Amino acid sequence: MLAQTTSFNSQSSPTNFTVQVYAWNYISSVYISDVFSIVAAITNPQISASTTNTLFPGPIVFQYTMDAGSNVNVTFSFGDTLINNPVSCLYSGDYPSGVWSGCSGTNHTFAIPGTMTVIVSFTNAISTYYKYLTVTLSTSVSSIVIGTSLQLLSSQCSAAYIGSRATASFVIQAANTTVKPASNAQVLIIPDLINQPTVTQGPFQLTFNYFNSPATTTNGLNIIYTSTGKTKEKLYIKLK
């Protein structure tokens, strides 16, 4: 076995090197040629955001850096769409240590409010790293409506009275298809004086499914009534 070690530096631009091996003896000969490139390993990749807490929909500017790495593909996934639509860019050659960079599209305006985890991958021919950053896009709790699956034409609701109690399950949704109410809010219920219902979840934490149109809470708000009759509750919404 013949082995030869030669030192190469990573290149300022993608460069291929050719290795040629020619072997022979008295009765035969063989020629082999192969191509390879020199790539510096990714070292200490980092990401940053211009802010981690702002009003919806932003934008927020994201950047990346690393101490070393060559021919690195950087991909940002923002987590605000049902179908992942990442932003990618390739840094060719050796990355300059201590320099912050951005890709086209990393000045990002979010499609939904809430708290999102931004995932960034750093990949080249010899390694892959992932970095994570959490950002919060805040919005108002105004412009919401209360509904129920037992809604009547009179805009009232009915609940079946069974076993000495009745349970009404409400949902909260945006007043129109474009409004994005805040998830970081709570519902407080002030019961009427006659039926005096108790609240099984209170204060109720709002958690919206923003991919619905209009956006709606992902779980129900259950109110238990202990006597029959008509009632009208007061629901108060407040930010945490």
Do residues 223 and 205 both lie within one domain?
yes
Answer with the residue of higher pLDDT: 185 or 182.
182
Task: Check residues 63 and 233 and name the one with the higher pLDDT.
Answer: 63
Predicted pLDDT at 48? 97
Q: What is the percentage of the chain residues whose pLDDT exceeds 90?
A: 32
Q: Is residue 37 part of a domain?
A: no
pLDDT tier for residue 72 given thresholds of 50, 70 and 90: very high
**17-68: pLDDT as tens digits:** 677 777 888 888 888 877 666 778 999 999 999 999 999 999 999 999 999 9
The reported pLDDT for the residue numbered 197 is 60
What is the domain extent for residue 193?
144-239
Domain assignment of residue 200, yes or no: yes
The partner residues of 47 in beta bridges, in order of sequence, read 64
For residues 133 and 52, is the Cβ–Cβ distance under 8 A? yes
Pairing of the two strands 53-55 and 128-138: parallel
- Into how many domains does the chain fold? 2
For residue 86, the domain's CATH number is 2.60.40.10
Residues 134, 115: one domain? Answer: yes
Q: How confident is the model at residue 172 (pLDDT cuts 50, 70, 90)?
A: confident
Tokens 């992902």 belong to: 218
* The domain boundary residue, chosen from 76, 105, 138: 138
pTM of the complete model beyond 0.85 = no
Q: Tell whether 40 is covered by a domain.
A: no
> Hey, what are 217's tokens?
């809470």
Residue 17 Cα to chain centre, angstroms:
41
**Tens digit of pLDDT for each residue in 82-116?**
888 899 999 998 999 989 999 999 999 999 998 89
178: confidence class by pLDDT, cuts 50, 70, 90: confident
Query: Rounded CA gap, 104 and 83, in Å?
Result: 19
pLDDT of residue 112: 92
